[in-house]
């Protein structure tokens, strides 16, 4: 297992709650390969001290990651990134609902479908192959190739 991964940065002046920023930055770091399967996250108390926040705020971010199925926590190992080999049908349904909500909002705010496609492509191009398997599959067992591998 890797050493504890470095802390991410947050914006204390953002309208986005601190716990959500921590959650989102960790997800982004995993997606881009800066944090990998098996990496141990900093303990909640360390995160709280680093950012000068209440430990309950950091715990809330970690609880969200655990609820997302992205990390596992044990008293012995701490909080460790654990990425499943494949998404479940429930995961795909949740993803479809989240994407529908997000795409509906940005579409009605005036972002064109062409811009949405371009932005999605640019974001997906930043993603790194995930561990433990760089070869991901859909719930139906079909192979999914990472966008970076097509470059």
Q: What does the alpha-carbon distance between residue 5 and residue 13 come to, in Å, rounded to a whole number? A: 24
The confidence score (pLDDT) of residue 128 equals 81
CB 3 within 8 A of CB 40: yes
**Residue-wise pLDDT tens digits, 71-80:** 999 999 999 9
pTM, entire model: 0.76
In this structure, of 53-62, 79-88, 116-125, the range with the lowest mean pLDDT score is 79-88
């Amino acid at each position: 297992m890797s050493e504890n991964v470095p802390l991410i940065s947050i914006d204390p002046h953002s309208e986005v709650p601190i716990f959500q920023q921590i959650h989102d930055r960790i997800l982004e770091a995993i997606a881009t390969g800066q944090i990998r399967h098996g990496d141990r996250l900093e303990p909640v108390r360390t995160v709280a001290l680093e950012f000068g926040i209440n430990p309950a705020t950091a715990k809330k971010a970690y609880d969200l990651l655990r609820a997302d199925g992205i990390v596992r926590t044990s008293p012995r190992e701490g909080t460790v990134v654990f990425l499943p080999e494949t998404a479940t049908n429930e995961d795909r349904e949740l993803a479809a609902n989240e994407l529908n909500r997000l795409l509906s909002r940005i579409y009605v705010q005036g972002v064109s479908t062409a811009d949405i496609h371009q932005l999605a492509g640019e974001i997906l191009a930043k993603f790194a192959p995930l561990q433990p398997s760089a070869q991901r599959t859909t719930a139906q067992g079909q192979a999914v190739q990472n966008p970076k591998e097509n470059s």
